[in-house]
Amino acid sequence: MTKKSPNPIDKHVGSRVRMRRMMVSMSQEKLGESLGITFQQIQKYEKGTNRIGASRLQHISSVLGVPVSFFFEGAPSGMPGVQGFAEGGSPAYVSDFLATSEGLALTRAFTRIVDAKVRRRVVDLVEAIAGEDVPG
């Protein structure tokens, strides 16, 4: 018997749940308590191993303070050439980056920089370190 791999939409929604939970500095345990489930169930949702039902997703959106549509932003459509929810959205690598603790920490710190010139210099520095030769 072969193990079924998670559906790409379920993985995407789960990663968005994780990203938002981390953005509001909430533990898996705390989210689970708010929903009346275990942190292990939250882990399964975030990995896309278990699908999140509609009513549960509505409850999660309420607890995390975002509309349900937030979890579908940038989602793969599953159909070649059709963008669906992802239309006009950010590339997948942006969501993937923001779903990491480093991505969230960097984003939080960066958005606290008030001076636009300093922000630009930070971007220039990171591009130089990464070896990017991107014109600004």
In the chain, domain spans:
8-90, 100-136
Q: What is the mean pLDDT of residues 81-95?
A: 54
Q: What is the mean pLDDT of residues 31-53?
A: 95
Superfamily designation of domain 8-90: lambda repressor-like DNA-binding domains (1.10.260.40)
Residue-wise pLDDT for 71-82, tens only, equals: 998 888 754 444
Q: How confident is the model at residue 14 (pLDDT cuts 50, 70, 90)?
A: very high
Would you say the C-alpha torsion 45, 46, 49, 52 has a positive or negative sign? positive
pLDDT of residue 69: 92
